[in-house]
Amino acid sequence: MIVVLKHGVTDDKRDQLISWLKNLGLQIHISVGAYQTVLGLIGDTSRVDMDLVGSLEIVDAVKRVTEPFKCCNRKFHPEDMVVDCQGVKIGGGNFVMIAGPCSVESEEQIVAVAKAVKAAGAQMLRGGAFKPRTSPYDFPGLKATGLELLKIARQETGLPFVTEIMSVADLPLFEDVDMLQVGARNMQNFDLLRELGKMDKPILLKRGLANTLKELLMSAEYIMANGNEQVVLCERGIRTYSDYTRNTLDISAVPMLHELSHLPVIVDPSHATGIAKLVPPCALAGAAAGADGLIIEVHNDPIHALCDGAQSLRPEEYAALAGKVKKLREAIV
């Protein structure tokens, strides 16, 4: 249920209403906007007399929220959420370019790619240290060493980085990480989501390979219900019967998620397509659909990449794409 307060209500009167609602055993999510304050009521609202609340002098409207997701529901938080990652803002008109290799392979590699993507205008670096691989015989990432190399790349370039966490057991290693990624395969690792909800760090939550938008939002809800509101959603392609691409980029997910939720939504055209030459057109499509950013795999030597070389752009290809994204955004914003 949401309670929309009238413009100009005093803090005193608002707090009185909140403590009355809390006494009914409800959790209250408060969203203070420029024009209106919205109280989101979480819990068993069957005991709340909607007519009584609606008749209060300070209340503008009372509405039931039928969706099972509450904290990430736009009805609870009408204004866009802006996630701040070490000063890099994502959402609410702030567009982020995140780029880097699929996996961290060596200091030379990650520093060279970080410098190249920075020169092309990227504001954040990506790179996997813990890699979820379909085959147990494939390169699993450099793990703790990979995280250290990401920190070196950050020091060399000033770019904050995002990197994937696969297990709650690895959490202590992620203390000095700027943004934690929950990959597609872990979107419903509920224990992990709950723990990330207790952290004070932004989370990049990728849509599962075969998950609905409601399931994605319920996963975001796990993180947010535990206290961490800094969640960025990522559309990275889903499994369909498409035969020539790795996945199918669900472009309509971007405006739909924006309608349902106030969380920023970014697009990953690399995993969506699996093919480097398809990355630029799909990246532009994502930006045109209103995405709040793009996460793109870039490698200085894609042919010899230890993971996802076929979908990785070379630095010069990334720079050319970044220029086009900028022009496209100028045209549509």
Helices (H), the chain: 11-23, 50-55, 107-119, 144-157, 190-196, 213-225, 253-260, 269-273, 279-288, 315-332
Instruction: Spell out, one character per residue from 264 to 303, where the chain touches ligand PEP: x when CB under 6 A holds, - when not.
Output: ----x--x--------------------------------
Listed residue (218, 141, 73) closest to 205, CA to CA: 218
By CB under 6 A, tell whether 128 contacts ligand PEP.
yes
| Segment contacting ligand PEP by CB under 6 A, of 19-27, 63-71, 179-187, 217-225 | 179-187
Beta bridge partners of 91: 94
Among 140, 146, 160, 183, binds ligand PEP (CB under 6 A): 183
Residues 6+ positions from 95 with CB-CB distance below 8 Å: 287, 291, 292, 293, 329
Report the residue number whose CB is nearest to Mn ion.
102
By CB under 6 A, tell whether 206 contacts ligand PEP.
yes
| Segment contacting ligand PEP by CB under 6 A, of 1-9, 117-125, 177-185, 217-225 | 177-185
Q: Which two tokens stand for residue 28?
A: 């209250």
Chain positions 78 to 107 lying near Mn ion, rule: CB under 5 A, are: 102
Decide: 62 and 39 in contact? Cβ < 8 Å.
no
Q: DSSP letters of 204-238?
A: EEEPPTT--HHHHHHHHHHHHHTT---EEEEE--B
By CB under 6 A, tell whether 91 contacts ligand PEP.
no
By CB under 6 A, tell whether 104 contacts ligand PEP.
no
- Rounded least distance, CB 44 to ligand PEP, Å: 36
Chain positions 219 to 248 lying near ligand PEP, rule: CB under 6 A, are: 236
Angstrom CA distances, 277 to 85, 88, 273, 274, stand at 30, 28, 9, 9
- Rounded least distance, CB 193 to Mn ion, Å: 21
Chain positions 288 to 317 lying near Mn ion, rule: CB under 5 A, are: 308
2-5: strand order across its sheet: 27-32, 37-42, 2-5, 59-63
The nearer residue to Mn ion, 70 or 246, going by C-beta atoms, is 246
Beta bridge partners of 297: 100
Q: 183 touches which of Mn ion, ligand PEP, none (CB within 5 to 8 A by kind)?
A: ligand PEP
Catalog residues that contact Mn ion under the rule CB under 5 A: 102, 308
Catalog residues that contact ligand PEP under the rule CB under 6 A: 102, 128, 132, 183-185, 206, 236, 268, 271
